[in-house]
């Protein structure tokens, strides 16, 4: 069954949906869109370094994304302005593209910018689902602490929770999801898959847990619709998935709770 490229693409997209749903909710709650962009864009630099060192791109993407996530989280705790985050985000992307061109590897940068979901190999699926399981397990373990520190930092401190530590944990989980997403939807569309399903779910859910479930379902539906549209109209897989998510968001607008 896994010899079918469409089945592999669907399983890869579902793995990303599992990881992105809870993380996307925290990104929306904490207003971390620029943060997510900085981490996802920096992953291109990691890919370039990995190719230069002849190792799997996902490991380079994970290492650099984790480093950027921790650095930006520490700076953000000191009140880092959005303009600085935006500068870091696009600076990291530019540095990654330049490094990719200098790496000597014969690769198409668009595969890392927009993903190549139909090119996911059998051996890649295990890594994607391991990453999804790691993110889901980590967030389930820290759920109450993360939620409390997100909703009320003062209450979190009063109950013995360190909001900065929880923020770092969330940042590292985000780095794992970014490394996973590079292959599926690419660096430029990773934040879309974090934010759009979560934003759509926010208007439908009655609880934080319900929002996570709704975001996962919307993400999974986006994958299915995007892959179908890509095959039907011969469009790129990653952008088709992101566009499907945007379309589903538009469809949820009349259903949003007041």
pLDDT in tens, the chain (258 residues): 555 888 999 999 999 999 998 999 999 998 887 788 888 989 999 998 888 888 888 889 999 999 988 888 877 767 666 677 778 888 888 998 898 888 777 777 888 888 889 888 888 888 899 999 999 999 999 999 999 999 898 999 999 999 989 989 999 999 999 988 888 898 888 989 999 999 999 988 889 999 999 999 999 999 999 999 999 999 999 999 999 999 999 999 887 765
Domain boundaries, the chain: 5-185
Answering whether pTM is above 0.85, one says yes
Distance, in Å, from the CA atom of 193 to the CA atom of 22, rounded to the nearest integer, reads 11
The 10 Å Cβ neighbour count of residue 3 is 7
CATH node for 5-185: 1.10.3470.10
């Amino acid at each position: 069954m896994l010899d079918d490229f469409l089945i592999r693409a669907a399983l890869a997209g579902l793995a990303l949906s599992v990881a992105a749903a809870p993380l996307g909710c925290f990104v929306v709650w904490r207003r971390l869109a620029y943060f997510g962009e900085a981490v996802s864009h920096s992953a291109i630099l990691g890919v370039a370094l990995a190719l230069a060192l002849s190792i799997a791109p996902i490991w380079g993407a994970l290492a650099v994304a984790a480093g950027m996530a921790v650095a930006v989280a520490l700076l953000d705790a000191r009140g880092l302005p959005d303009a600085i985050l935006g500068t870091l985000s696009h600076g990291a992307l530019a540095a990654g593209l330049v490094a990719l061109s200098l790496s000597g590897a014969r690769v198409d940068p668009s595969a890392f910018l927009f993903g190549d979901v139909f090119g996911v190999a059998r051996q890649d699926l295990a890594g994607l689902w391991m990453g999804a399981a790691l993110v889901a397990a980590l967030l389930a373990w820290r759920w109450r602490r993360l939620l409390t520190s997100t909703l009320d930092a003062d209450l979190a401190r009063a109950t013995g929770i360190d909001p900065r530590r929880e923020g770092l944990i969330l940042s590292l989980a985000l780095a794992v999801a970014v490394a996973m997403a590079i292959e599926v939807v690419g660096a430029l569309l990773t934040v879309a898959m974090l934010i759009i399903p979560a934003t759509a779910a926010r208007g439908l859910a009655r609880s934080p847990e319900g929002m996570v479930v709704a975001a996962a379902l919307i993400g999974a539906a986006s994958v299915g619709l995007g892959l179908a549209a890509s095959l039907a109209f011969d469009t790129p897989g990653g952008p088709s998935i992101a566009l499907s998510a945007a379309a589903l968001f538009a469809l949820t607008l009349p259903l949003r709770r007041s």
